[in-house]
């Protein structure tokens, strides 16, 4: 699918992505690279990193990978420092590392809950904290005329209402959204850094759907709760990321952009569309016949 953005919209920028070796993170890395950015990706698995970097380089993208765990401050610091040493600057940080699995609340151990919080929430803050000195205006490698850098935190919509068997991730992503808002206030004011988030919906070609909505679950009624009648694609999330990371989104700060086709707003359709008008007429007629608030015994 062709991009709606100019091919050089991120030219000269350096982006570091956690969780950038696969899934949505890799698609963002690829599209950033296709639009002119140099790419550093951080992940825990060397083989996945090597494969991702090889693919990016085969596309003509300057790319490098660093093994590290976002839960460990030393790994975060080393990756940020290595990115700067390799490319000479850091302009964009994308926090995409995450953990998830289906589990009922009573079967979720405190350690399992903590693990997801550590990856999603603590890891996000740790990476932001370690990258600050390179992202801020007047920071190392960044002239005052350049302005500040960009932080994008990958969130979710699970916590906007409530989600079955996702208490751990809902809590973690709610905290990530709070990090996004607070850093946008403080670092936007002090350092001219824009901090935003993206909340993807179900993405057909990402690992999240295969883990959280496997084929074994019957989703015959799925279309009834999907306003656009389709899953999203990783490309959709990557385009949103380009918008927020480029000058196209230069006045957007402190927001989490929902990219889910409106699914989080939806509920199962409990009445066929063609029956709404007829039922409405019946209800309105009845309301005129029985005054509101008066007991029928007194009519």
pLDDT tens digits in sequence order for the chain, 299 residues long: 899 999 999 999 999 999 999 999 999 999 999 999 999 999 999 999 999 999 999 999 999 999 999 999 999 999 999 999 999 999 999 999 999 888 899 999 999 999 999 999 999 999 999 999 999 977 665 555 567 999 999 999 999 999 889 999 999 999 999 999 999 999 999 999 999 999 999 888 766 555 555 554 454 444 444 556 678 899 999 999 999 999 999 999 999 999 999 888 876 666 677 776 777 777 778 777 755 554 554 44
* Cβ(237)–Cβ(28) below 8 Å: yes
Q: State phi, psi for 165 to the nearest 5 degrees.
A: 60, 30
Q: Is 291 helix (H, G, I), strand (E, B) or coil?
A: coil
Integer CA distances (angstroms), 205 to 190, 209, 286, in order: 39, 8, 50
Separation of alpha carbons 144 and 55, rounded Å: 35
Q: Give the pLDDT confidence score for residue 101 in this predicted structure.
A: 87
- CATH superfamily membership of 14-268: NAD(P)-binding Rossmann-like Domain (3.40.50.720)
Q: Give the pLDDT confidence score for residue 224 in this predicted structure.
A: 41
pTM of the model: 0.86
Identify the CA nearest to 64 among candidates 47, 87, 34, 32: 87
Q: Give the pLDDT confidence score for residue 263 in this predicted structure.
A: 85
Separation of alpha carbons 93 and 133, rounded Å: 12
Q: Give the pLDDT confidence score for residue 80 in this predicted structure.
A: 98
């Amino acid at each position: 699918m062709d991009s709606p953005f100019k091919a050089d919209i991120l030219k000269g920028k350096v982006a570091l992505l956690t969780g950038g070796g696969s899934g949505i993170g890799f698609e963002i890395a690829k599209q950033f690279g296709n639009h002119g950015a140099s790419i550093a990706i951080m992940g825990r698995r060397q083989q996945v990193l090597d494969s991702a970097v090889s693919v990016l380089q085969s596309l003509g993208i300057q790319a490098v990978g660093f093994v590290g765990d976002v839960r460990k401050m030393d790994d975060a610091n080393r990756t940020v420092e290595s990115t700067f040493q390799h490319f000479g600057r850091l302009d964009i940080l994308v926090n995409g590392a995450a953990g998830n699995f289906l589990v009922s609340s009573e079967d979720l151990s405190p350690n399992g809950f903590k693990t997801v919080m550590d990856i999603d929430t603590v890891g996000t803050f740790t990476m932001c904290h370690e990258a600050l000195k390179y992202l801020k205006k007047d920071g190392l490698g960044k002239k005052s005329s350049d302005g500040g850098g960009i932080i994008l935190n990958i969130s979710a919509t699970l916590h906007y209402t409530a989600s079955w068997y996702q208490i751990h991730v809902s809590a973690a992503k709610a905290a990530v959204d709070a990090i996004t808002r607070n850093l946008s206030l403080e670092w936007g004011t002090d350092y001219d850094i824009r901090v935003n988030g993206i909340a993807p919906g179900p993405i057909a070609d990402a690992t999240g759907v295969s883990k959280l909505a496997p084929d074994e679950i019957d989703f015959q009624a799925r279309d009834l709760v999907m306003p656009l009648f389709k899953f999203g694609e990783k490309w959709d999330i990557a385009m949103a990321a380009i918008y927020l990371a480029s000058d196209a989104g230069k006045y957007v700060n402190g927001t989490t952009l929902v990219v889910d086709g409106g699914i989080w707003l939806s509920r199962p359709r409990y009445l066929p569309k063609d029956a709404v008008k007829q039922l409405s007429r019946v209800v309105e007629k009845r309301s005129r016949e029985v005054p509101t608030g008066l007991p029928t015994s007194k009519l």
